[in-house]
Structure 1
């Protein structure tokens, strides 16, 4: 089966759900941010600070063809779906699930997290604008799945159930 790409805003649950789903399906999990960190021997925050967001976005695009082509869960960075080329690649080469989550829930989840270079707790209006700009890009997917208000295990069960029904990627969610 093609890989499953989990996309969404930072804090939507991609890493947590990806890890649990990988265990459930007995598939490897590849986190694109970690992959980039290992490949370039720098943390994401360092890449942003030293080289800028544009360089990091180039790294994201360059690694996509290097990722597993089947039976894998790929958790993407929050900005991976910003690029039309990245979205096209993921849609053509896997199943793309947008993990949708209300911004208030994301703020609550990330209240202690200071590791994300684009997330600023003190500038909620700027974060709302970033979220609103990205939302239509995330919706360019096979399936939208709400994660706010649900336990990660519930989300994993929903994905597994859809896989078992063999209707994954055939949901009509993509409009």
Structure 2
């Protein structure tokens, strides 16, 4: 069944389905592995267990289909939406890369330690260029720009609607 939903709803739905998929996979593995099949050459598998596993397998396959369809629709939506000459996908890449860069700079600033070294005394380890990294963060106004970019992406995700073929969601 084709549903028209916002990107935000699709992302939320995808997250929930992926959690459900992980749980269902664990249940399926648990009910299909290391199950006694025969005792003294005679089958000990109950028909109820066989049918339950078949139902779980069918549910799992249908769930995967919905997950794939959501991912494809989100991907298509991310490439369709354009804001100031950039697709939503471009904005997401900028945000992710910017967060990684900011994280690296923050690690470089805060990564220091003190150690008592035998025959040397107390040694402080760290980065001698902390001020350079602090200036980089401040001059680029990274935190604010990334927050603004994240808010823009969130706003676009609430406004943009996509069509998704869903069987179970």
What range is the shorter-chain TM-score in?
under 0.3
Which structure carries more helix by proportion?
Answer: 2
- Larger relative contact order, structure 1 or 2 (CA cutoff 8 Å, min sep 6): 2
- What TM-score do the two structures reach when normalised by structure 1? 0.25
Which structure carries more strand by proportion?
Answer: 2
Rg larger in structure? 2
- What TM-score do the two structures reach when normalised by structure 2? 0.26
